[in-house]
Amino acid sequence: MRYPNIIRNIFQHYLTKKKMLLLKNISVTFNKESQFQLKALSDIDIEFHSNDWTYIIGGNGSGKSTLLKIISGELKTDTGEIRLNNKTINNIPFHKRADKILFIEQDITKNLVGSMTVYENLVLGSEQNVFVSEFFPYKQKKQLNKIKELLSEFGLGLENRVNQQVRFLSGGEQQVVVTARIMLRKPQIILMDEFTSALDQKIAPLIIKKIKDFVTASQISVIAVSHDYSIIKDTGDRVIILANGKITHDISKGMHELTEKFILDKFYERTK
């Protein structure tokens, strides 16, 4: 009988995972003052928990990217409240939220500064900044060793090229630098907008595993927009389906196996 297993999975979920992010009654409207007014999000109520990898899927214009941007602070809400660790963050701007909420964009080059070296990009993304490293050489050496050790885990030899500008790296190598930056930054929330679609297929399994292991070890939350169903099945704990700015389905791995067929059935069910 399946029901006891379902109940046990739900019970274990709430015992081991704490609520990190709450969106309450969120609405966003574009072009409010014109005849082309568009309701991008409507009455969104949702919680995100620690050690959870949540995927947001939906058709074009469903509100996926808008949802990520209101969490990051890039966009403002019309109504509703956003709470991180039980503190309201609606009025905290994008650059100040970035300490705890890291936004990884689909275009990998937007996540790095091409004219800066691998080391400089990773220092910018870590808990220590360049100023501290320059004025405290012993800390700089310690930090450099930490960065080299982390890069060596990917097996591409990037630990020997920390002084190379990232614009001269291959796409796969740049993705490794972004992943290392995530791990050094230690955010509480990671937002990913189609990040997996741009992954170099040779390095993708290792990058996904590194991020998944980091999420589990650090008890953080990932909220990702993706349509890569194989990765969703392998890494996802939860799938949220959006349509016309509203949540139509909220599916937990504890309740269902997140196969491509199951997700697509639910995705197309919303139109019936």
3-state SS, one letter per residue, for 95-128:
HHHCCCEEEECCCHHHHCCCCCEHHHHHHHCCCC
> What stretches of the chain show up as alpha helix (H) in DSSP?
3-16, 64-72, 94-97, 118-124, 130-135, 137-152, 171-185, 204-218, 229-235, 260-269
Angle at 231 between CA 230 and CA 237, to 5 degrees: 110
Report which DSSP code applies to 77.
-
d(CA 180, CA 147): 8
CA proximity to 68, closest of 36, 44, 32, 39: 44
Which residues have a Cβ under 8 Å from the Cβ of 200 and sit 6 or more positions away?
170, 171, 172, 175
pLDDT in tens, 187-213: 999 999 988 777 778 888 888 899 999
Structural domains in the chain, sorted by start: 1-99+229-272 (3.40.50.300)
**pLDDT tens per residue, range 67-86:** 999 999 999 999 999 999 99
Q: What is the pLDDT of residue 167?
A: 95
3-state helix, strand, coil in the chain (%, to 5): 45, 25, 30
Q: What is the pLDDT of residue 47?
A: 95
Give the pLDDT band (50/70/90) at residue 125: low
Average pLDDT over residues 148-165: 95
> In angstroms, rounded to a whole number, what is the distance separating the alpha carbons of residues 101 and 221?
10
| pLDDT tens sequence across 232-245 | 888 889 999 999 99
pTM score > 0.75 for this model? yes
Strand partners, 30: 38
Q: What percentage of the chain carries pLDDT values higher than 90?
A: 53
Determine how many CB atoms are found less than 10 A away from the CB of residue 86.
Answer: 8
Dist. CA 127–CA 124, nearest whole Å: 8
